[in-house]
Amino acid sequence: MAEITAALVKELRERTGQGMMECKKALVAADGDIEKAIDDMRASGAIKAAKKAGNIAAEGSIAVKVAADNKSAVIVEVNSQTDFLALQDDFKAFVAESLEEAFANGLTEVAPLVASREAAREALVAKCGENVNIRRLTRVEGDVVGAYLHGHRIGVLVTLSGGTPELARDIAMHVAASNPQFLSPAQVSEEAIAKEKEIFLALNADKIAGKPENIVENMVKGRISKFLAEASLVEQPFVKDPEVKVGELAKKAGAEVVSFVRYEVGEGIEKAEVDFAAEVAAQVAASQQ
């Protein structure tokens, strides 16, 4: 049995990015042959990735890329289990490479990107010890396209008819901050309006009790009008100048807002409750095996 020195473990750790205990186990299994240990660790990457696949990945990063002519853009979300990993260079590189591939190939759906990047994803999972997923992708095209990225957690694409890339970016920044649900009141579904009415009536049951039907109807109409304005991008006061609505801002610049896409990391993913004390205890126990 070859001697497994600290220097050998250190070298393997630097070359693979794996944990100290994993490196030591791999060297023992390979009888001190570092090249064999590396090959064995790479071969086990798919197995490790499969084991991590059941872990909820609700953190991560949003990335955007706009074409040089500002007529197309892509936005992607890549999830990790922790925000810590989202800030690491290996994860950032995986996100950047995935975005570049999606943009270069003109992808409009996430499935081809997921398939193409699977080997790289498995290698990253094996190295970082967290589940990683490419969750979604949207490509937009139009007369003028602009984007805004707020840190690594919120990304927005805005498409205009007319106007400038700077205007599109300003409106994208507004979307990031205000999170409108719809483009315009005309796009608000009857279901959404009915739900808002139901909520209003439930919350104001005491105020409504005993009032004439026409008064109640006017109260409901007032609330629905306010809801449509609050939820619709073109009706919202522009964040940089609340005296003007977003739709008016675009119109003054000879433009019209055609569409927007807003991604926020982890939205819609049900996060599991984490017992951090138990998690740390489990990690300590695993390191002692």
3-state SS string for the chain? CCCCCHHHHHHHHHHHCCCHHHHHHHHHHCCCCHHHHHHHHHHCHHHHHHHHCCCCCCEEEEEEEECCCCCEEEEEEEEECCHHHHCCHHHHHHHHHHHHHHHHCCCCCHHHHHHHCHHHHHHHHHHHCCCCEEEEEEEEECCEEEEEEECCCEEEEEEEECCCHHHHHHHHHHHHHHCCCECCHHHCCHHHHHHHHHHHHHHCHHHHCCCCHHHHHHHHHHHHHHHHHHHEHHHCEECCEEEEEHHHHHHHCCCEEEEEEEEECCCCCCCCCCCHHHHHHHHHHHHCC
pLDDT of residue 47: 43
Question: Average pLDDT, stretch 80-104?
Answer: 95
pLDDT of residue 6: 86
Maximum mean pLDDT: which of 15-19, 128-132, 258-262: 258-262
Question: Average pLDDT, stretch 200-223?
Answer: 85
Q: Set out the domains of the chain in order of their start, with CATH numbers.
A: 6-53 (1.10.8.10), 59-188+232-264 (3.30.479.20), 190-226 (no CATH)
What predicted TM-score, i.e. pTM, was given to this entire model?
Answer: 0.73
pLDDT above 80: residue 192:
yes
Maximum mean pLDDT: which of 21-25, 190-194, 254-258: 254-258
pLDDT tens-place string over residues 236-288: 999 999 999 999 999 999 999 999 999 999 998 876 554 556 555 555 555 55
pLDDT of residue 207: 83
Specify the range with the lowest mean pLDDT, choosing from 88-97, 148-157, 174-183, 213-222.
213-222
pLDDT of residue 218: 85
User: 182 falls in which pLDDT band (50, 70, 90)?
Assistant: very high
pLDDT of residue 46: 45
Specify the range with the lowest mean pLDDT, choosing from 47-61, 202-216, 227-241, 262-276.
47-61
